[in-house]
Chains A and B, each alone.
Chain A
């Protein structure tokens, strides 16, 4: 449904997106995961025809965005990070306006408004001005506005920012329902739990590049059973390294500046064995960190940086 090849976008000297390539199948939920400034929003803005890339080729539904953007636009639904709604108008009026912009009118428009309001559970508040809505309700209406014209591809740019837990769960349910209905979704987030829960595949972005891309399970498996960081006196770390590598459940181990990094197939027994080894060699443990296998730790493992900074 979507192919992206060699995408580059520069702002002056800064390269916001640097050679990004991926493809998304129909009915797939594809996540772009990365910290703020990683290039996710720029990528999604280019895909949504808001920005022109400096290099690269994109097709959506078979249409090349460079030459056939007008044909591709009706296929695209866009839910921006901002609450892109008119606060003084009612929920109904907002949806009616965006629907008319996409050429809907009459009974068809009425039916679509009813449908998306039901989907986001705002049907009983349809006549109320949006400015009176809670943050979560506005977010849900923001999604509804992106769905009014029944797009085949939906771009969701950080849709849960500033949302209460209940509304966040609502949004997760909406996305799951849309996926079940066959919609192709690109979902940007810096919350790894959202990506894990919703996405079939995830591209992890950092500094404008994709540093890893696979199914969430495969990405998590990059860490095996988890990673252990142990701080030891500098001479002890180097001295213990051969013995550490021989411990059960340890795939690999390295030492740097008195810090040992152990990649394991199962973190818990590996940690017990490591503590015994240190005791046996009278090596004081100065610090200890265990990365559970999840996308957050995968990101840290791949980039040396945390997702939320």
Chain B
């Protein structure tokens, strides 16, 4: 029986590797997808300098207050600040023309009276108001503009307090404690200024991963995208398997094999085994190459990675059996595979993160093995979890595999 199983599996592997186009499509397509989409989405998931959001800054401020804010923006990793264009200080006209030409998408304009407005006397009777403008290409979504506006408002508020604090302290001393000597006043004003600055602020905001996650390095765009596109890639085995089964039915080779002293379970297992091996090779190659080329972390749990990969590949193979059983012709199999793979991958978050989806769609996504597989891979590769934490997802994937296999084998016809 094992010789027969081996003969069946070896035959399909031979057929597969005799078709260079199929091999290239199986292994290269997801890889090309990973590279193209990861670079394309660097702005969404990126964290390094070259992946940062480009912002033009036009500084018309006659004082120095805007400089402080611009420096604070430069210090943030998410923004790439440009204050010059072709070695000339950026003007509002140039910034607007660059946005109109589609070369840049965002610009911040600090007005000439910016510092004056912040530093105006505490009890001035005519209040000066300055307006900072954010110029944005209308196609830029609020997901990008709102965080930038929030950052600007925060920095301006901090700068305003820093400008007002010495005046306020001086006013309070004059009014309520005029005997305090000038050097003491200077120390207190200095402390107030320092507490308004970012470095010495009494309250800080930091970003870190929750307890239990061992994130070795901050995930880059590849780390975010590769699991999704790997899962998307392995589910294409559904199409390959279904077409191969229908071809065997059409050509009569299944009929010939059924005459042989060969149990049908062995025949089916021999048919599936090579596709399972191909799927696992796909995962190994995609993750391995991504790690080698793009420095993607493979997490801390090789056992977890192997278990999730085995379960994810089993669910993909199960879906392949189901499509093979339902489709009557090769055209039906191709169409059904396409619609199932694309829909389920999209719902499962392979293309767009599930956290940006509406609640109902996020819940609906849970009926796809892709969502569970992606969650498991992200747990291992991005969140730094181990084997124990991904067992629920592995269980769900094996459940999907059993369901698909069960219905598929029940409906499967060898002729």
Contacts and interface: CB of A to CB of B under 8 A. Distances in A.
A74 B261 contact: yes
Contact of A50 (B8, B14, B259): B259
A89 B250 CA distance: 17
A243 interface: no
Contacts of B255: 50, 78, 80, 82, 84
A286 interface: no
Contacts of A73: 259-261
Contacts of B260: 73, 98, 101-102
Contacts of A97: 7, 10-11
B157 interface: no
Contact of B259 (A49, A85, A86, A93): A49
A111 B262 CA distance: 22
A78 B257 CA distance: 9
B18 A98 contact: no
Given A88-B19, A101-B7, A105-B3, A82 B251 contact: yes
Contacts of A86: 11, 15, 251, 253
B8 A88 contact: no
Contacts of B19: 88
Nearest to A81: B252
B14 A101 contact: no
Contact of B18 (A82, A88, A146): A88
A161 interface: no
Contacts of A88: 15, 18-19
B363 interface: no
B281 interface: no
B258 A50 contact: yes
A133 to B, nearest CB: 14
A85 B251 contact: yes
Contacts of B18: 88-89, 129
Interface string B129-154: 00000000000000000000000000
A85 B259 CA distance: 14
Contacts of B253: 84-86
Contacts of B415: 50
A48 interface: yes
A145 B14 CA distance: 18
Contacts of A93: 11, 14
A78 B261 CA distance: 12
Nearest to B16: A88
A84 B252 contact: yes
A18 to B, nearest CB: 22
A83 B251 contact: yes
B175 interface: no
Contacts of A87: 251
Interface in A69-121: 70, 73-74, 76, 78, 80-89, 93, 97-98, 100-103, 105
B103 interface: no
B389 to A, nearest CB: 44
B4 A83 contact: no
B388 interface: no
B259 A48 contact: yes
Contacts of B8: 101
A290 B6 CA distance: 60
Contacts of B256: 78, 80, 84, 98, 145-146
A53 to B, nearest CB: 16
Contacts of A70: 261
Interface in B63-99: none
Nearest to A99: B7
Contact of A82 (B4, B7, B252): B252
A87 B15 CA distance: 9
B15 A100 contact: no
A85 B10 CA distance: 15
A300 B253 CA distance: 35
A241 B3 CA distance: 72
Contacts of A105: 3
Contacts of A100: 3-4, 6-7
A5 to B, nearest CB: 21
Interface string A47-62: 0111000000000000
Given A49-B258, A80-B252, A82-B251, A89 B7 contact: no
Contacts of B3: 100, 103, 105
Interface in A166-213: none
B11 A89 contact: yes
Contacts of A50: 255, 258-259, 415
Given A50-B255, A73-B261, A89-B14, 16 more contacts: A48-B259, A50-B259, A50-B415, A70-B261, A82-B251, A84-B251, A84-B255, A85-B251, A88-B15, A89-B18, A93-B11, A93-B14, A97-B10, A100-B6, A103-B3, A105-B3
Interface of B: 3-4, 6-8, 10-11, 14-15, 18-19, 250-253, 255-262, 415
26 contacts: A49-B259, A50-B255, A50-B259, A50-B415, A73-B259, A73-B261, A74-B261, A78-B256, A78-B259, A82-B252, A83-B252, A84-B252, A84-B253, A86-B15, A86-B253, A88-B19, A89-B14, A98-B256, A98-B260, A100-B4, A101-B7, A101-B8, A101-B257, A102-B261, A105-B3, A146-B256
Interface of A: 48-50, 70, 73-74, 76, 78, 80-89, 93, 97-98, 100-103, 105, 129, 145-146
Going nearest first, the 6 A-B pairs with the smallest beta carbon separation are A82-B252, A100-B7, A84-B252, A78-B259, A73-B261, A84-B256
